[in-house]
Amino acid sequence: MKPFFTLCVARVGASFGTMAFAGALPIIRAEWHLDASSAGAIQTVFNISNAVGLFAASWLCDYLGAKKVYLVFSWLAAGALFLFAYAAHSYLSAAFIMTLVGLTQGGAYTPAMLLAIKMSRPDKRGYSVGLILTAGSFGYLLSLFISSWGAAYKNASFAFYLCTLGVLVGAALGALALSNYKEELLRKIPAKKDAQKHSFTWAALLLLVGYIAHSWELLGAWAWTPSMLAHVLKNESFNPVTTGLIIAFTVHLSGMLSTLIVGSLSDYFNRTSVLIFMGAAGAVGSLFMGISVSWGMMWSIGFAFLGSFFILGDSGVLSAAIADNVPAEKLGKIMGVRSLLGFGCGSFSPLLFGVVMDASHSWWLAYAVPGVGGVIACIAAIVLKLKEKSKYRLA
């Protein structure tokens, strides 16, 4: 198996920590007596620390290399999740240890994308980034199922122990995949004197705005869609295994398909046009995910699947587009700033979702919170498209 494909398999296991809390959340709220705002606050702690981990790791990649940074954070992630399983039994302890889980999960995310970019040709960036994200989505799917089933079968700690095993296997496979990979540190390349190569261009700025909006929508939906589906399914006669499978496949099978399909399409069609469509579709999908709760189980599952497809689908396209618009030797720093702002701002989406949910007891109003991100992402892509057309006319 080629090293890159082995790395993709490794990312499946390494991603088990990201959705473990969301999968176990319905049981955690009952065990720890948490209201929606408190649960959203813990998820916000994860997202903020995740953003810090993304920023730090991305910055370090320009100096130490993506390979070394990825491997260090992958091993640390296994230890952090084990600590959460062992010691987190209340709101305060969970919030504290969740910081470590977020830091280590975020620390492995951007280096994995940078490795996908470096290990592929420029004309295949969309496919390669899409594939590494698809592997992560499969890991999210498995962790969501394992954590929701494990929590329902026994308790929340048991669910997190199971997910820890996946992260440990992922770290070992990652070390195997990269054992013979020789990475060139691009900071050693002499700097070019072209000022344009060193400036934060309009294209990069608009892509940054789009990524922040994308993160807002994605993190809000990821944190609460499993709970929404659990709410819809609670009156059905499904056992915990079936319920866990339905939730996991609805949320993350769609994500697996979207990152690979949309990322590959962006290699053949204009990336900006793809971003316009996906932003608009994500906003509409978010709204209907909330509205469909009152329509019945099948409607909710269907719109959750479609909404998740459109919300996640532009992730790989945004990463490929930023790689097309910034110099390679500065890619780590730019992606670090992007990750810090995107996940930092997006971290408050689950919290605001919970606040709106507590105040209104309305799923559709709560889902309007992440839906705003899709609207802003679409507008940013439209402005970028107009600037591209203006540039072509001047040329």
Residue 259 phi, psi dihedral angles, 5° rounding: -65, -35
Residue type, 125: R
Q: What percent of the chain has pLDDT over 90?
A: 23
pLDDT score of 237 more than 60: yes
69-126 residue pLDDT tens: 999 999 999 999 999 999 888 888 888 899 999 999 989 988 888 888 888 777 777 7
Please state, in angstroms and rounded to a whole number, the distance separating the CA atoms of residues 37 and 351.
6
Q: What percent of the chain has pLDDT over 70?
A: 93
Residue type, 389: K
**Span 365-386, mean pLDDT?**
91
Predicted pLDDT of residue 27: 84
Q: Encoding tokens for residue 228?
A: 């929404």
| 279 within 8 A of 157, measured Cβ to Cβ | no
Residue with tokens 């408190």: 38
Residue partners of 386: CB distance under 8 A and separation at least 6: none
Residue partners of 169: CB distance under 8 A and separation at least 6: 13
Residue partners of 191: CB distance under 8 A and separation at least 6: 198, 329
CB atoms closer than 10 angstroms to residue 45: 22
The CATH homologous superfamily for domain 3-181+200-394 is MFS general substrate transporter like domains (1.20.1250.20)
Q: Tell me if residue 115 falls in helix, strand or coil.
A: helix
Predicted pLDDT of residue 189: 47
Can you say how many angstroms the Cα of residue 22 is from the centroid of all Cα atoms in its chain?
Answer: 13
Please state, in angstroms and rounded to a whole number, the distance separating the CA atoms of residues 115 and 62.
12
Q: Encoding tokens for residue 221?
A: 């939906």
Can you say how many angstroms the Cα of residue 62 is from the centroid of all Cα atoms in its chain?
Answer: 22
Q: What is the largest CA-CA distance in the chain?
A: 67
pLDDT score of 184 more than 80: no
Please state, in angstroms and rounded to a whole number, the distance separating the CA atoms of residues 367 and 153.
29
pLDDT score of 380 more than 50: yes
Q: Encoding tokens for residue 199?
A: 């400036």
Q: What distance, in Å, lies between the first and last C-alpha atoms of the chain?
A: 45
Alpha-carbon distance values, 246 to 232, 233, 298 (Å): 11, 9, 11
- Domain extents in the chain: 3-181+200-394
Please state, in angstroms and rounded to a whole number, the distance separating the CA atoms of residues 287 and 371.
6
Residue partners of 391: CB distance under 8 A and separation at least 6: none
Q: Tell me if residue 140 falls in helix, strand or coil.
A: helix
